[in-house]
Amino acid sequence: MSQEVEHRAGVELLPHWKNFLALLLFLSGVIFVVFLNEKGFLGERLYQLSPFRIQEVKIVSEWPLSVSEIKAWLPPLEGRSLVDISAKDLVFNLEQRPWIEHVTVKKQFPDHLWIEIKTDRPRALSVVKGTAYFIDSRGNIIDKARPRIIKSLDLPFLSITEDASLWDVSAVLAVTEQFKTLFQSKYSISQLILGNYPYLKIFLDNPKLEVLLNIENWESQSKILKSLLLDPPSQIPQVQRINLIFPKKAVVSLHN
């Protein structure tokens, strides 16, 4: 009886040894593959065999960013597999760069990648700690003001002399856009000064003119301003200052 029990116990142990040996072989194979990949042998061969390798990266960009600038911000992409490229990561990394407002990445199988860039539109210049910056329609800084770009744009300087927290810069810049539309760009705004809310000053060029506004009644006062600038009364000579902060009337100061 004891021999029979011994024999059965030995038979039952064999499958466990086989499983253990199989697991050991599997783990050895995994370690070997990882070793080869770390050494670059396997990794390079798998890379060469990967499908949909990128042959061309097409970049479409708006002024003032050039294609060469965009390429300098990108990692090497040619030769990589389209499947491995994370469009989300490319978009996120590019949108951290100055001037870039929106990025679209399109994979065109089997071997092309398209990157389209939409840039911010500067609406004004603002000096921060002695350095001039371009700001967008939301009042956010785009980039340092470069002379080459300043010359090609007609932008006003914007400054805040009182409590900046009370001012919605995006609303002020919207007023300047309405102003341009109202006067069909006949007058150029050279400077905006935001004082005690809700009062601001707009300085115009050609002819030089100072306009005092209350941003809260700008919509109604804009009609008075349009009449004074485009169809002034014949008895009024050249105007130096127009004060529109009072409801339904304007106070005009004349050149001497």
Q: What CATH number is associated with residue 146?
A: 3.40.50
Determine contact, residues 102/118, Cβ cutoff 8 Å: yes
For residue 37, is it within any domain? no
Q: Do 77 and 131 have their domain in common?
A: no
Q: What's the confidence (pLDDT) of residue 124?
A: 96
Q: Do 128 and 245 have their domain in common?
A: yes
Q: Do 65 and 132 have their domain in common?
A: no
pTM value > 0.85: no
Q: Do 139 and 105 have their domain in common?
A: no
Q: Do 136 and 238 have their domain in common?
A: yes
Q: How far apart are CA 256 and CA 240, in angstroms?
A: 9
For residue 234, is it within any domain? yes
Number of structural domains, the chain?
2
The CATH number covering residue 77 comes to: 3.10.20.310
Q: How far apart are CA 215 and CA 249, in angstroms?
A: 15
Q: What's the confidence (pLDDT) of residue 220?
A: 86
Q: Do 94 and 130 have their domain in common?
A: no
Q: Do 109 and 131 have their domain in common?
A: no
Taking each helix axis from N to C terminus, what angle separates 2-39 and 41-49, rounded to the nearest 10 degrees?
A: 70
Q: Do 141 and 171 have their domain in common?
A: yes
Q: How far apart are CA 86 and CA 19, in angstroms?
A: 40
Q: How far apart are CA 136 and CA 143, in angstroms?
A: 10
Q: Distance from first CA to last CA of the chain, Å, rounded?
A: 131
For residue 75, is it within any domain? yes
Q: What's the confidence (pLDDT) of residue 210?
A: 92
Q: Do 161 and 200 have their domain in common?
A: yes
Q: Do 105 and 218 have their domain in common?
A: no
Expressed as residue numbers, the domain containing 217 is 124-254
Q: Do 135 and 250 have their domain in common?
A: yes
Q: What's the confidence (pLDDT) of residue 29?
A: 62
Q: What's the confidence (pLDDT) of residue 38?
A: 47
For residue 199, is it within any domain? yes
For residue 217, is it within any domain? yes
Mean pLDDT per 10-residue run, the chain (256 residues)? 49 59 66 53 52 91 94 94 92 95 94 96 92 94 91 91 92 90 83 94 88 90 84 70 82 68
Q: What's the confidence (pLDDT) of residue 97?
A: 95
Using alpha carbons, select from 196, 162, 156, 150 the residue that is nearest to residue 176.
156
For residue 225, is it within any domain? yes
